[in-house]
Amino acid sequence: MEKWYEIKKNPEYAETILEMFCNLHDYRITNINYDLAKNTIDVHFEYDTHDEGVILKFINVKKLNINTDKDYEFNWLSGTQLYLNENNNLVWWDDDDYNYEKISNNPYITWIEAEAIHFAFLDKDGEIIELPEDRINPVVSTLNFETYEYESKQKHFEVYEV
């Protein structure tokens, strides 16, 4: 069943919801579609194992920059960020090393500012499916750099169906 989810306009929510997809680390952009009549952009992402993906749908697009100068054929992302700006718009960009104030002046970063963002989860065939339980309530393992042991922690993400 096809399901879309809304990213709420809450600063904390906006900055953490992409953690559900590890901030799109090891995903790559496969295509970007702009619908002029609806003023929407769909950005399709594929995970490096090719068994899942994500679509971000930007609604009422205000500004954007698309970097087409890639070093190699498949540009796997190291991470992405999402921010609620002073105009109450959501801004997404494809680099986890830059903060919001620096992205608009950098031609090498793809970024989109829009009034709203919806997202969908894709199966291995690229079909939109309902978010699995292990994405909404994952157990996340992180390395403790003091003990050099992994620690597991239960997380919970609030999702809002469109």
Split the chain (162 residues) into runs of 10 and give each run's mean pLDDT: 92 92 92 97 95 97 88 76 95 88 87 97 95 93 92 94 94
Q: How many domains does the chain have?
A: 1
Kindly give, in sequence order, each residue whose CB lies less than 8 Å from that of residue 121, ignoring residues fewer than 6 positions away. Answer: 3, 52, 53, 54, 128, 129, 130, 131, 132, 135
Q: Is residue 140 part of a domain?
A: no
Q: Is residue 154 part of a domain?
A: no
Residue 146 included in any domain: no
* Rg over CA atoms, the chain: 16
Residue type, 109: I
Closest CA to 50 of 27, 21, 71, 33: 27
Q: What is the extent of the structural domain holding 108?
A: 5-131
Q: Confirm whether 97 is domain-assigned.
A: yes
Asked, for residue 57, whether it belongs to a domain, the answer is yes
Instruction: Answer yes or no: pTM beyond 0.95.
Output: no
